[in-house]
Amino acid sequence: MSPRTHPPTRTLPGHPDLEQLKRQAKELLNAFAAGDPRAVEEVHAHYHDAGADRFALHHAQLVLARAYGFESWPKLKTFVEGATVAHLHEAVRAGDLDGVRRLLAARPELVNFDRAENDEHKALHVAVLHQQPAMVRLLMQRGADARCGIWPHRVATGALTIAEERGYDAIAAIITEEERRRHRPAAALGERTLAELIAAFDAGDEDAILAIVGAHPDFAGMRSADGYTPLHWAAARALPRVAAFLLERGFADTAMGLQLRVARRVARQAEAT
């Protein structure tokens, strides 16, 4: 977790939410632009020489981060994401299937996040090590990578390898079954859901896209009749969260050349906001 380096004037809730913080930054920006006295006071307390004509969203995010006691927005974001990952791992360890479903419905990309900067265990590692077949199946269905290991012994520490070497045969079978399932044609998952995914892309609705792909990981690797994949669509429509989600899960090999460079550039926008 990133240490706080500024005296906080706001208090983070017990379970901070990044989307809520983004909304707060936009509200602060609008209030400052409108001359709201409280917003003006808060901005000037954390950002000197701020002028309404030059004050942008990234300035509002910086002010908000400092108000919560952090040096920068990226450090606040890292703290919040780390806390959320910790909540996910706690829910997995406790066998709380409903809690895990809620967390991954809100933030599907968390399924493959490291536990912390110095701890590369992922949620699936926790489920395997605690011998939780139902949790393993749920995480696999939400896109967990069973072959991603922990430095420095990457191959030997993937969740599937751990299950096989420890004799967790039922869990290894679940992982293998779910991996095979991911390679089925996307159409086999239902034309209605596929239509919903396409409609979400057309509308630029990142929340809907992430919810569908999180629940049906097969869709992430599909190709349309003209050879395009969701990563191509995310790059073409400049959807940063979707591009980041797909790149994190190894779907870079579905895009080549210019499309891949565009996807990576779009994904970096998610890191900056």
Q: Which of these, 145, 88, 151, 90, lies nearest to 118 by C-alpha position? A: 151
Give the amino acid at 46: H
Paired tokens of 242: 């979707």
Domain with CATH 1.25.40.20 in the chain: 77-182
Closest Cα to residue 248, out of 264, 262, 234, 269? 264
- CATH code assigned to 77-182: 1.25.40.20
Whether the full predicted model's pTM is greater than 0.75, yes or no, is no
* Distance set, CA 1 to CA 33, 84, 105, 117 (Å): 33, 11, 24, 8
Domain 186-272 in CATH 1.25.40? The answer is yes
User: pLDDT in tens for each of the 273 residues of the chain?
Assistant: 444 556 678 998 877 888 899 999 999 999 999 999 999 999 999 988 777 778 999 999 999 999 999 888 988 887 887 778 888 999 999 999 999 988 887 777 788 888 887 889 999 999 999 999 999 999 998 888 898 888 888 778 999 999 999 999 999 999 999 888 765 555 555 667 778 888 898 889 998 898 888 777 767 767 665 566 788 888 888 888 888 888 776 665 444 444 555 566 666 665 555
Separation of CA 82 from chain center = 11
